[in-house]
Amino acid sequence: MRGTLLIFSGPSGVGKGTVVKELRRRSDRIRLSVSATTRKPRPEDVEGVTYYFKTMEEFEAMIGRDEFLEHAVYSGNRYGTPAGPVDELLDAGCDVVLEIEVQGALQVMERRPDAVSVFVTAPSFAELERRLRGRGDTTGADLERRLRTARTEYALAPKYDYIVVNDRVERCADEVMAILTADKCRAKYRLDLLKEDD
Ligand code: 5GP
């Protein structure tokens, strides 16, 4: 069976990355799509693992060759999901997680109606603010900007199939695993089970 394409979005500071790490720890059939971006690498970034780092010209050439499943601008930088590797993994039966922001997520919902979309929130907006402050690397203006972005992201969350809460990473991962399991039980994927002859 072809794997599930899982769109996974949520505001900065909510801990999406940690939840995705936990999902991958639980199953090696769950893979993370590696995006292309024009943003500068951070110390923790590894080319080809966290992102493919591109110049603006390279990124635009990829758009020209129609290589992206979706692409969007976030905080002044461009981000895009290369379609080829995603489809190869799905064909191999892997579930592929797209950890992407909301504008790109809306494009994937449109282009891939079978994709399952999950928006991750903090237990409350006050808790999200607390987590962002706790990061320490955010100045007052930066914090305000992230909170404004989070509000616009929350406004689009009702368009997702599911909303999960990252109160504890393990519990949040349990919810996402349950969503993946339920998706595989959809009647449309199980019609073979209803046949009388095999
Ligand atoms: P960061 O630069 O902090 O790694 O990511 C910034 C935002 O861009 C995050 O919300 C992340 O999920 C999102 N993002 C990462 N890759 C992609 C992508 O390929 N497409 C879109 N639309 N967003 C992405």
- Helix, strand, coil percentages (3-state) for the chain, rounded to 5, are 45, 20, 30
pLDDT at residue number 129: 93
pLDDT at 139: 78
Distance of CA 106 from the midpoint of ligand 1 (Å): 13
Report the pLDDT averaged over residues 168-195: 97
- Concatenate the DSSP letters of all residues of 9-52 into one string: E--TTS-HHHHHHHHHHH-TTEEEPPEEE-SPPPTT--BTTTEE
pLDDT at 198 over 70: no
Which helix (DSSP H) or strand (DSSP E) does residue 152 occupy? helix 140-156
Q: How far is the CA of 79 from the centre of ligand 1 (A)?
A: 6
Q: Quick one: pLDDT at residue 141? A: 87
How do residues 53-107 score in pLDDT, each as one tens digit? Answer: 999 999 999 999 999 999 999 989 999 999 999 999 999 999 999 999 999 999 9
Q: Which residue has the tokens 């607390």?
A: 130
Q: What is the pLDDT of residue 137?
A: 66
CA angle 136, 24, 154 (to 5 degrees): 50
Report whether pLDDT(144) > 80: yes
pLDDT of residue 169: 98
Whether the CB-CB separation of 19 and 175 falls below 8 Å is answered with no
Atom index in ligand 1 nearest the CA of residue 11 equals: 10
Which residues line ligand 1 at a C-beta cut-off of 6 Å? 35, 39, 70, 72, 74, 79-81, 99-101, 104
Instruction: For the chain, give the percent of residues with pLDDT over 90.
Output: 91
List, for residues 18-53, the tens digit of each pLDDT value.
999 999 999 999 999 999 999 999 999 999 999 999
- C-alpha 32/C-alpha 49 separation (Å) is 10
The answer to whether residue 157 scores a pLDDT higher than 80 is: yes
- Nearest residue (by CA) to ligand 1, atom 10, is 101
Query: pLDDT band for position 135 (50/70/90)?
Result: confident
List the residue whose alpha carbon is closest to atom 23 of ligand 1.
100
